Amino acid sequence: MEKRIGIEASIAIAEAVGLCDADVVAAYPITPQTHIVEHLSEMVADGHLDAAFVPVESEHSAMSVCCGTSAAGARTFTATSSQGLALMHEILYIASALRLPIVMSVANRAISGPINIWNDHSDVMVERDVGWVQIFCENGQEAVDLTIWAFRLAEDPRVSLPIMVNFDGFIVSHMVEPLFMPDREMVKAFLPPFKPLQRLDIDNPISMGPVGIPDIFTEAKQVQQHLLTQAYQPIVETLGEFAKVFKRQYKPVETYRGDDADVLLLTMGAIGETAMTAVDQRRAKGDKVGLVRLRLWRPFPFEDLFRALGRIPVLGVIDRCISFGGPVGPVACEVKGALYGRKDHPLVVEFVAGLGGRDVTVTDFDKMFDALFEAKRSGKVPAPVLVGLRE
Amino acid sequence: MSQHVNPVEPFLRMERMPHIWCPGCGIGTVVNCFVRALLKTQVDIDKVSVVSGIGCTGRIAGYFRADSFHTTHGRSIPFATGLKMANPELSVWNFSGDGDLIAIGGNHFIHAARRNADLKVVCVNNFTYGMTGGQVAPTAPLHSLATTAPYGAFERPFNLPFLADSSGAVYVARWTTFHVRQLVKSMEEIMHKPGFCFIEVIAPCPTAYLRRNRLGDGLEAMRHYKQSSKVVHGADTRSVDIELGGPIVVGKFVDRDRPTTLEAMRDELHKSLGDKYVPYPTGVQR
Ligand SMILES: Cc1ncc(C[n+]2csc(CCOP(=O)(O)OP(=O)(O)O)c2C)c(N)n1
Ligand code: SF4
């Protein structure tokens, strides 16, 4: 039986990793991820989790240790944020290319400079192409649930890929929330023991990570592309199985009051919750607004997105990051790319909001909806908007 | 307005006060000593540059009224190396926490010492990662408590003077924040000494280290430093390990001369190229 308790999301995530019986946790502290690994180190020290905790000297080492332990066949977890994720960058590619099913929490935080410890998505957006499954959570419950699910998905032999579970630093990570804490029996029913697809084993020697000469490199990349794209089906299936056991259903793309909407706004992560409040308020005034909440980022859920958009004439996309000198918002760029060539595609209005911890308020959403209605009326797309920018 | 200005004030960005450091923290003492050393040696502040990484100690670069750079976590030494190579006239001072300098930046530390980069490196060793809340660091004494070592650290810590010495530093000293005069004197000594000079300053972190280890507050730490420190100039750096609550050997351990990176590079190129070699940057000797 699940119990509903008030708990800080970071602690709950650590408990969830404990329920999944991770064998190894290797991490370096960085705000706002730190509480997760601190709690895990306590669980290990207290004997609540039979695992090795490796307090490495940097994130580069953390991800390298994770590759080693995962290659040896151990269920492996780590967590990081911001500069730490950036420092892991090189090894992230190795983990996916070697098909090591590492699970990593990323408490999203801005990248320097200037130095900023608060939340946005600039840390994870640059890691788009590292070949990991990437998913976003809106609150602590989702972060707990999707962490448990992440082990199942990553270790699915059809997938065998690493996965990042993203949630907003502080806004989610440090929030004390009433949430349903899964119990061990349920997790056991959902998550089978880890049977690595391949591992380093003295009796059956294999070699991991050899040189890929030009004759083979393209094919190796094609395999990665194929695997990550094909991971979509197992993702949907395992989310379905998660729902059977835990009675909470997650979808690659979620919507909110979108069915009869005149304009839609697309969000990722925790701001989706404030946006729902804003939608309710506008609806109460008779404005037909709705939301699309993009949960799965890699593999990109093209069909789910198209279904969620239907024939909407105007779509706003909120980015929590800027692609400097480029098309401004990485998510908007991706969405526009997905829509290219489709009949009756919507006008796409780009917003960048909540950089480096700036709050995105209901009033901000209101203004965004106003801009969407204006675009609908005029048929013109305004230049990308930096929400709340002080002149 | 008071006519009496604290002599330290002109060296600080007062508009950034109050600072973030906790009551009883040792970092402020290190800043204070550095200012005294600057005043005593009368160096031109325009020729002094302060570099630090990320951490509570890293904040020094933000508060110090000199050309300063707050780099990323662990990278203050490579940044400082570049600064010094491109502008050898500068006296480049690096202030870092033990985590910044020895954990994530450890590789840079040993290589800068090996190549004798002309840097003045001050490590505020509080035995933990202060800024992130007290996780176990590679300087944590055996059996000391940390948030990620709730029942005690079990990995052998670095002995920093020995690490610096064996990597090739030309000056190695250790003081505590109790030894302010000696610390000022060490800083004065290295102000004009070429090469990789290293001072370890044992400092209290009441918030993330002392409290967790039931070692009292900042004042209690001072008492401990006073009672348990032993000055042994020229001590064999292999013998200066620190144990939890145990004696602390302080003093100047190493003071020797060896060509700096820049000098070695110039000599070597001069040998190969003869008069064709024009040292960069032109006109600057050291
Ligand atoms: C790449 C990277 N990883 C982790 C961090 C988080 N972080 C900031 S300061 C710090 C450690 C601080 O400890 P120390 O260097 O000993 O300095 P102190 O705060 O004790 O003065 C860490 C881990 C970071 N900023 N960047
Ligand atoms: S946490 Fe520790 S190191 Fe940081 S300011 Fe406070 S006492 Fe100093």
Q: Is A262 on the interface with B (CB under 8 A)?
A: no
Cis peptide before A32 (omega within 30 of 0): yes
Nearest CA in chain B to A61: B104
Query: If you ran DSSP here, which 8-state letter would residue B168 be given?
Result: T
Q: In what order do the strands lie in the sheet with A263-267?
A: A253-256, A289-294, A263-267, A314-319, A347-352, A385-386
Per-residue pLDDT at B169: 98
CA distances to A84, B149, B210 from B244, rounded to whole Å, are: 30, 14, 11
List all residues of chain B from 193 to 232 with a beta carbon under 8 Å from chain A: none
List all residues of chain A from 12 to 31 with a beta carbon under 8 Å from chain B: 28-31
Question: DSSP secondary structure string, B178-215?
Answer: T-HHHHHHHHHHHHT--S-EEEEEE---IIIIITTTT-
Residue in B135, B150, B151 nearest the CB of A29: B135
Å from CA of B55 to ligand 2 middle: 9
Residue in B73, B74, B147 nearest the CB of A38: B147
Pairwise CA distance, residues A338 & A383, whole Å: 20
Per-residue pLDDT at A391: 85
Q: What are A253's two structure tokens?
A: 């793309």
Residue in B72, B104, B148 nearest the CB of A37: B148
Nearest CA in chain A to B140: A55
CA distances to A82, A114, A237, B32, B102 from B72, rounded to whole Å, are: 12, 10, 42, 24, 14
**Contact predicate A84/A145, CB 8 Å:** no
Which parts of chain B fold into alpha helices (H)? 27-41, 60-63, 76-86, 98, 106-114, 160-167, 180-191, 218-228, 261-273
Q: Select from B98, B104, B110 the residue whose CB has the most chain A CBs within 10 Å, as the one to mutate to test that interface.
A: B104
CA proximity to A85, closest of A138, A136, A30: A30
A-chain CB neighbours of B155 within 8 Å are 55
Identity at A134, one-letter amino acid code: Q
Pairwise CA distance, residues B98 & B43, whole Å: 27
Residue in B72, B136, B150 nearest the CB of A42: B150
Nearest 5°: phi and psi at A299? -65, 145
Nearest CA in chain A to B99: A57
pLDDT tens, residue order, chain B (286 aa)? 557 889 999 999 999 999 999 999 999 999 999 999 999 999 999 999 999 999 999 999 999 999 999 999 999 999 999 999 999 999 999 999 999 999 999 999 999 999 999 999 999 999 999 999 999 999 999 999 999 999 999 999 999 999 999 999 999 999 999 999 999 999 999 999 999 999 999 999 999 999 999 999 999 999 999 999 999 999 999 999 999 989 999 999 999 999 999 999 999 999 999 999 988 765 555 4
Q: Is A47 on the interface with B (CB under 8 A)?
A: no
Half-sphere exposure of residue B5: CA atoms within 13 angstroms, side-chain side: 7
B-chain CB neighbours of A46 within 8 Å are 150
Query: If you ran DSSP here, which 8-state letter would residue A355 be given?
Result: G
Pairwise CA distance, residues A10 & A191, whole Å: 21
Residues 6+ apart with CB under 8 A from B63: B12, B13, B16, B17, B19, B31
Q: Is B135 on the interface with A (CB under 8 A)?
A: yes
CATH code for the structural domain at A3-246: 3.40.50.970
Question: DSSP secondary structure string, A183-217?
Answer: -HHHHHHHSPPP--SS---TTS----S----HHHH
DSSP reduced 3-state for A156: coil
**Contact predicate A117/A109, CB 8 Å:** yes
Q: Look up tokens 């580069």; give the residue.
A: A60
Q: Which ligand is nearest to the CA of B27?
A: 2
Q: Which atom of ligand 1 is nearest to the CA of A87?
A: 1
Pairwise CA distance, residues B136 & B130, whole Å: 10
List all residues of chain A from 308 to 337 with a beta carbon under 8 Å from chain B: none
Residues 6+ apart with CB under 8 A from A197: A99, A157, A160
Q: Which ligand is nearest to the CA of B133?
A: 2
Which is it for strands A76-80 and A52-55: parallel, antiparallel or unpaired?
Answer: unpaired
Please tell me the residue having the least CA distance from ligand 2 atom 6: B22
A-chain CB neighbours of B150 within 8 Å are 41-42, 45-46
Please tell me the residue having the least CA distance from ligand 1 atom 25: B73
User: Which residue among B95, B131, B219 has the greatest number of ligand 2 atoms within 8 angstroms of its CB, and so is best to mutate?
Assistant: B131
Residues 6+ apart with CB under 8 A from B7: B35, B39
Pairwise CA distance, residues A222 & A233, whole Å: 18
Å from CA of B204 to ligand 2 middle: 8
Pairwise CA distance, residues A281 & A369, whole Å: 11
Nearest CA in chain B to A31: B132
Nearest CA in chain B to A42: B150
Hey, which bits of chain A come out as E strands?
3-8, 24-27, 52-55, 76-80, 103-108, 133-136, 163-168, 176-181, 253-256, 263-267, 289-294, 296-298, 314-319, 347-352, 385-386
Pairwise CA distance, residues A213 & B194, whole Å: 48
User: Which residue among B124, B132, B136, B160 has the greatest number of ligand 1 atoms within 8 angstroms of its CB, and so is best to mutate?
Assistant: B132
For chain A, the domains span 3-246, 254-386
Please tell me the residue having the least CA distance from ligand 1 atom 6: A30
CA proximity to A89, closest of A112, A59, A111: A59
Pairwise CA distance, residues A189 & A248, whole Å: 15
Q: Hey, are the CB atoms on B73 and A83 less than 8 Å from each other?
A: yes
Q: Which ligand is nearest to the CA of B103?
A: 1
Å from CA of B55 to ligand 1 middle: 5
Per-residue pLDDT at B2: 57
Ligand 2 binding pocket, CB closer than 6 Å: B 21-22, 25, 27, 56, 126, 130-131, 205-208
A-chain CB neighbours of B133 within 8 Å are 29, 34, 38
| Ligand 1 pocket residue status of B132, Cβ below 6 Å | yes
* Count of residues making up chain B: 286
- Is residue A128 exposed (0-12), middle (13-18) or buried (19+ Cβ within 10 Å)? middle
Q: Is B252 on the interface with A (CB under 8 A)?
A: no
Q: Which ligand is nearest to the CA of B99?
A: 1
- Is residue B78 exposed (0-12), middle (13-18) or buried (19+ Cβ within 10 Å)? middle
CATH code for the structural domain at B9-257: 3.40.50.970
**Contact predicate B125/B176, CB 8 Å:** no
Cis peptide before A299 (omega within 30 of 0): yes
For chain B, the domains span 9-257
Pairwise CA distance, residues B189 & A193, whole Å: 62
Q: What is the pTM for the complete model shown?
A: 0.97
DSSP reduced 3-state for B97: strand
A-chain CB neighbours of B70 within 8 Å are 115
Q: Look up tokens 């590789």; give the residue.
A: B107
Per-residue pLDDT at B284: 52
Nearest 5°: phi and psi at A266? -105, 130
Which helix (DSSP H) or strand (DSSP E) does residue B135 occupy?
strand B135-136
Identity at B196, one-letter amino acid code: F
Q: What are A152's two structure tokens?
A: 């199942």
Mean pLDDT by 10 residues, chain A (391 residues): 94 98 98 98 96 97 98 98 98 98 98 96 98 98 98 98 98 97 97 96 93 97 98 98 98 97 98 98 98 98 98 98 93 98 96 98 98 98 95 85
Identity at B186, one-letter amino acid code: S
User: Does the domain formed by A254-386 have CATH 2.40.50.100?
Assistant: no
Closest approach of A38 to chain B, Cα-based (Å): 5
List all residues of chain A from 102 to 121 with a beta carbon under 8 Å from chain B: 112, 115
Per-residue pLDDT at A1: 78
Nearest CA in chain A to B98: A57
Cis peptide before B161 (omega within 30 of 0): no
Q: Hey, are the CB atoms on A53 and B148 less than 8 Å from each other?
A: yes
CA distances to A111, A267, B89 from B200, rounded to whole Å, are: 31, 49, 25
Q: What are A18's two structure tokens?
A: 């404990």
Q: Is A8 on the interface with B (CB under 8 A)?
A: no
